[in-house]
Structure 1
Amino acid sequence: MSGAPAGRIARRFAQLRAEGRGALMPFLEAYDPDPATSMAILRGMPGAGADLIELGVPFTDPAADGPTVQKAGQRALKAGGTLAGAMAMVRDFRRDDDDTPVVLMGYLNPILAYGPERFCRDARESGVDGLIIVDMPPEEADEVAPFAEGLDMVRLVAPTTVANRLPIVLNGASGFIYYVAITGITGTRSADQAELARAIPQVKAQTDLPIAIGFGVRTPAQAADAVRVADGAVVASSLIDALEKTLDEQGRATPGSVRAVLDGVRALAEGVRGARG
């Protein structure tokens, strides 16, 4: 079943634990603003300090995404972004990088349209390591999980997840737990450090999996705060903002687009790597 101990995600978190530091997981929307630019960013992220990468799959109705990520998805869809295209990006990425874990983040409907068994096979063969299916509750995991051998099924835990539901959410989870630091949509406010300091130990008490904090983590300081209480920090909106600021009036990439995002990743990595020192 999914979550084999020898997988890239498990190896990377074990390596970081041995080094005494947390993980930085930047987000990139596949095909935003075009296939070539997003591919260049994806290839450059590990060298800029990404420990794992979250690759977003464009979708027409991204209910959990805030305005920033929604606009990235709209640009990506306009550029021809699809589930198959996202997997093709990972396949191309694997030609040069066989170590950095890549997690696909998306919604259930495109997977059902693609065919769950075919999707899991193609994702695995492309070099995808894990899946974050934002709108798939644990009760519906059987739509995908039976076919996901070799793919980690990353579950989301939110501040609103009550104590008696936590074991249900954690059952069948693998890779890591994605802790949603704020209620609501992405990119609308920042995580509260005091709330995280109270909440993360409660989750850790019920799982041995690493915990990565996302939603509301934007700055190097906030990423550093996240890895002081958890195992990783996921950053999306601030990197998309950095990209968007470089686009021309037609929303097209400019010569500084790739560099702007990777400079953001470098700054975040510096914060994460100095957090526990």
Structure 2
Amino acid sequence: MDVDLRKLRYFVAVADELHFGRAAESLHITQPVLSRQIRALEDELKARLFLRDKRGTALTPAGAQLLTDARPLLANADALRRRVGRAARGSDRFTVGFMPGLVVSAAIRVLAARYPSLTVDVVRTGWYDQTDVVHDGRVDVSFVRLPVDQRGLQVRPLLAEPRVAVLPVDHRLARERSIGIADLADEHLVQDPDAVPEWRDIATELRTGQRRPTPAVRTVEEKFEHVAAGAGVLVLPSSVADFYTRRDLTSVLIDDIGPNHVCLAWDASRRSPLILEFAAIAEEHHRVFQAT
């Protein structure tokens, strides 16, 4: 049996909303059409996917299993479409991903000067998708900050930069020229502890099992807002802290932990001479990737 990807997309939309009307609106189709497509999918799979009553819509166990399997299947289909499209376009377009705080324009200018007919695009990435954009074909290369899962990637080191603590300006450590990571042991970290293993290993709230709930934040800007509000502290590469200078925040060097490493990453299965040439350019101009 072949599963229709369009029906799967409709199913995921309903599963996300748990409301046929809102899902139909997000898909830009009518609710009767959506209901018919879901019924057709249930008929094909010989399983009921949703329970609908006066209280609302809920997934059945079969629906929950399908949702788990459907997301990666749709993501792979999207990645396939992008890779095929990239191959069809040939070598007239090159896309570069970059993390906050990194300035990559110098390397791009060199590449553009060598290939005047080449269109070079840029994509701003984050901690949660900096390698996803490589795997799914959204970018040809990406400037990433370690640590990342390097499986399936070719990774070339470029530079290392110190890490700093981002603090409210009225914090007890705000006037220090530098601190040690132990000075932050009693603080709350407004980020994943695994991103700062040196803090994780000594943190009082982790050792005592009393870590406060951390808000669901994904962007640097959101994290800064929580720090400014006094909810905790951040440990970041110095270029990121410099790039997002704010009057209500300050950054202090942490002098006893290792630096953050910046690398160029690309799909290890690709053999594009253009990627290798850009990697050489990036190595040559690694100093320009510091924040302005």
The structure having more radius of gyration, on CA atoms, is: 2
Same fold (TM over 0.5): no
Coarse TM-score class (shorter-chain normalised): under 0.3
TM norm structure 1:
0.24
TM norm structure 2:
0.23
